[in-house]
Structure 1
């Protein structure tokens, strides 16, 4: 029975990967700081929890023991994190480091977290230019991408069989930022209309945690030092995503497609890019990767998870707070009602 060790295995990507591998007959250990955070479905499927802080090198070496067939690091954010990973990778048949499409930069220096949105001029290949590596605060918009680049360099310069995966707008059960909430909340609130900026044409390609898990299983059987994009097989628009959520929940609303001259505070969603952000997946397909499903199929579990949390009072605290700055801007109901009243008078 092959063995996998997942660092940060109780989070969104870790739990999806653990479930896929367990279903395929792997023995899976997941690390975390609190066993209470082990998702019950992982425990039921046979995952073993190993208490370990990501920064505790000695404990991580104890956990890996005599080695593992697959090592997955879901929480590598800095070059220092990557250096701690290398001794473990030497004891692993194949290693996966989760990076991000936030490393990519366009010809004008714009990237996912810059003030001006990037324009890559077409699908983004793994050869696209990246930000310069840096060790400024990785928790800041300016530091997240550069720190991921620095971590990638440490991993790939080691010569070890480490696959670096670059996903985009990850979604799934356990999401710390569940972007589907932008439309799920509207359904829960029984909104009769959905307003969409840019006529709903914005595209920032999402990546299901289940599809990352499928790619991880692929590279587990094909060890090597490489960079791979990771994205859903489709690139839905904001309008497509709104329809997928409404359809799954059996909700009907009137679509109000706003032109560019509309109030910029109306119709905002997490996918409002003026230039499409789409990842080229040909390199992964050449390795034999097959996605678990498209966006609508893979987001369904996250939608149900959010609805159940709302129905039961959100005892686990998974829903965004009312004052969450990322989400609160997406629900200007009073301004929407005023706009609709004025334009339907």
Structure 2
């Protein structure tokens, strides 16, 4: 059973499991079906925030429950209440649960000197933030803590996903370059000299991890990222190649010169790069796609969505999270003032 089946990860995960001969029930609030799923996939409508409705959807039980929309300890307790009917679970977490050795994490990144400096690469042994009900990261940490503590009742594989990308994403970071290319912007400003690395995670690679974890139950937390952690310059060049354009990079030392100039969705002062050796060792994991190889599918999806109107209407969550990513007036003023 897959909860959150019509989301960006869910669509890929349901397909991967069904093609691996699992009998899959795809659960979502709307009860929808993806055109790419095999015919044998069953669909069910359920709101996971309603304990009774979710329990009814689980029914007599399932061998594996995949939860793609669990966000806090209350969801861990919800799953544990079903443990007598569920063999094992696979639950999506986030690499944002990590904190560095000075206690800095994603929640402190906006403070002066507050961006975390993780080892490169980050392994699952890196310490995590204290569970609390104060942020996405602390709630995910609470989710993890409760599920791992109850591994004897419900063996759960937690997948700490990086910067998720692929079709159906509500906040596609690739939009930053795709729209600029569509708008025929000849230059782009990149802070930190375009050298930032924020580890991406393709939905198909995450789906492969889910498929493997379903067949190998256990109580564990594993990183879930792509084999590549490209720099911003490399990401931009790869998107240009897909779209058949050439764009000049204007590289800025240090942080963005203003809030709406040079701040890409990947821009960080230090790298955030994770290791995948534990998943390789415990699950026999091998990635199914590399970042650049996955871009044609992602770019086509974004272009299709942008064709429906204003980017803020096509991607309202993107605008909510990142603000105005396309302040061309501010960019032009910066370039003009810099004599570029």
State the shift of 1:206 in Å: 0.9
Mapped contact 2:88–2:156 kept (Cα < 8 A) = yes
Partner of 2:273: 278
Q: Say yes or no: does 1:94 pair with 2:82.
A: no
- Once structures 1 and 2 are overlaid, which stretch shifts more, 52-61 or 163-172? 52-61
Partner of 1:134: 132
Q: Say yes or no: does 1:148 pair with 2:140.
A: yes
Mapped contact 2:190–2:262 kept (Cα < 8 A) = yes
Count of aligned positions: 332
Partner of 1:47: 41
Distance change in 2, residues 1:15/1:314 (3 Å): farther
TM-score, structure 2 as length reference: 0.90
Please give the alpha-carbon distance, in whole angstroms, between the structure 1 residues aligned to 2:253 and 2:312: 39
Unaligned runs of 5+ in 1: 137-142
Partner of 2:188: 194
- Aligned to 1:152, the other structure's residue is in SS state helix
Could you list the per-position Cα deviations for residues 279-310 of structure 1 after superposition, in whole angstroms to 9, with x for gaps in the alignment? 11110011200112111122332211110122
State the shift of 1:89 in Å: 4.0
Partner of 2:23: 27
Please give the alpha-carbon distance, in whole angstroms, between the structure 1 residues aligned to 2:73 and 2:46: 19
Question: How big is the alpha-carbon RMSD for the aligned residues of Structure 1 and Structure 2?
Answer: 2.3
Unaligned runs of 5+ in 2: none
Mapped contact 2:170–2:317 kept (Cα < 8 A) = no
State the shift of 1:86 in Å: 1.5
TM-score, structure 1 as length reference: 0.89
Mapped contact 1:210–1:298 kept (Cα < 8 A) = no
Partner of 1:125: 123
State the shift of 1:57 in Å: 2.1
Mapped contact 1:133–1:147 kept (Cα < 8 A) = yes
Partner of 1:229: 223
State the shift of 1:316 in Å: 12
Please give the alpha-carbon distance, in whole angstroms, between the structure 2 residues aligned to 1:163 and 1:133: 18
Mapped contact 2:173–2:266 kept (Cα < 8 A) = no
- Aligned to 1:339, the other structure's residue is in SS state helix
Please give the alpha-carbon distance, in whole angstroms, between the structure 2 residues aligned to 1:236 and 1:262: 19
Partner of 1:216: 210
Q: Say yes or no: does 1:6 pair with 2:2.
A: yes
Partner of 1:139: none
* 1:174-323 matched pairs, under 5 angstroms: 174-260=168-254, 263-265=257-259, 266-286=261-281, 287-313=283-309, 318-320=314-316
Distance change in 2, residues 1:223/1:314 (3 Å): farther
Could you list the per-position Cα deviations for residues 18-62 of structure 1 after superposition, in whole angstroms to 9, with x for gaps in the alignment? 122223333221212223x544434x6543221111122222222
- Aligned to 1:110, the other structure's residue is in SS state coil
Mapped contact 1:171–1:299 kept (Cα < 8 A) = no
- Once structures 1 and 2 are overlaid, which stretch shifts more, 76-85 or 333-342? 333-342
- Aligned to 1:122, the other structure's residue is in SS state coil
Mapped contact 1:55–1:84 kept (Cα < 8 A) = no
Mapped contact 1:267–1:330 kept (Cα < 8 A) = no
Distance change in 2, residues 1:217/1:262 (3 Å): closer
State the shift of 1:77 in Å: 0.8
